[in-house]
Amino acid sequence: MKNYLVITALTLAISAPAALVAEHHEEKEDRYFYATYFNCDTATQEQADELIKKNTAPIFDAAVTDGTIKGWGWLSHHTGGKWRRIQYHTSDSVGGLLTAQETLAKRAEEAMGGADDGFAKICGSHDDYIWKVESGNGIAEERASAAMSVYHVCDFTKEERADEIVEKVFAPVYNKAVEDGKIKSWGWNSHVIGGKYRRLGTMTAANFQDLVKARGEILDTIYGDGENAEANEFSEICTSHTDYLWEVLHENP
């Protein structure tokens, strides 16, 4: 039981969420998310979804209501690498994430009475990340059910410059895509704890076809004829990436 309560995010990602700005002149609220990326038996992974729905969702939904966490979600693999499922929860601090993790694990143990529901047999290993939301609209707006996560490998000595480029060059294009209804949400997140990936970009749309089409249009707008110096600089800082498509099975809020 504890294995699947150890946790994201993208996500993000999911799809992973993005920063909330209450008003134009107020500072944005810090938001962090703890994402656990599960490796699961593909023959029985749908059973894990049912266990999450039955045993985890009531506990985590109650935790959102009572303020223990800001939100949480469960996403299933559609296309991409080895990770098959994501579970995440959010808070306004890393300490809040870790405290909530302990609280939720304790509540799950009490609810299950120490019984093993079989989740760990289905999803037997995982990778944990903590991400900080840097840019986007994902928390302020309801996310859609088709999600994309792009996990970037970056030069950690220059990654803050990558964040500046995202805010200056990328964000207006993503925001325009939201305004035009091409995507529902997007986010940009920085590494706090975890493996090799240093930055996480997320998007959601109504379906995967629209999502992939919108991503292509966004990249064409940003990179165009290849003469955008700052976009090219970003690619020199974050030199490789791994793409995933996720189906958002449950998110609250």
Question: pLDDT tens for residues 17-38?
Answer: 433 333 333 466 899 999 999 9
Note the pLDDT tens digit of each residue in 192-236: 999 999 999 999 999 999 999 999 999 999 999 889 999 999 999
Q: What is the model's pLDDT at position 25?
A: 35
- Helix/strand/coil (H, E, C) string of 30-48? CCEEEEEEEECCCCCHHHH
> How many degrees, rounded to 5, is the angle at CA 87 between CA 85 and CA 92?
150
Q: What is the model's pLDDT at position 138?
A: 60
Q: What is the model's pLDDT at position 115?
A: 86
One digit per residue, the tens of pLDDT, for the chain of length 253 reads 434 433 333 433 334 443 333 333 346 689 999 999 999 999 999 999 999 999 999 999 999 999 999 999 999 999 999 999 999 999 999 999 999 999 999 999 999 988 889 999 999 999 999 999 999 986 545 789 999 999 999 999 999 999 999 999 999 999 999 999 999 999 999 999 999 999 999 999 999 999 999 999 999 999 998 899 999 999 999 999 999 999 999 999 9
Helix (H) or strand (E) holding 154: strand 146-154
Q: What is the model's pLDDT at position 71?
A: 96
Backbone angles phi, psi at 103, to 5 degrees: -65, -45
Structure token pair of residue 48: 């894990």
Alpha helices in 195-240 (DSSP H): 208-223, 229-237
Chain centroid to Cα 125, Å, comes to: 19
* Cα(33)–Cα(129) distance, integer angstroms: 8
Q: What is the model's pLDDT at position 114?
A: 80
Q: What is the model's pLDDT at position 29?
A: 81
Percent helix, strand and coil across the chain, each rounded to 5? 40, 30, 30
Query: What letter represents residue 59's amino acid?
Result: I
pTM for the model stands at 0.88
* Cα(243)–Cα(77) distance, integer angstroms: 11
SS3 92: coil
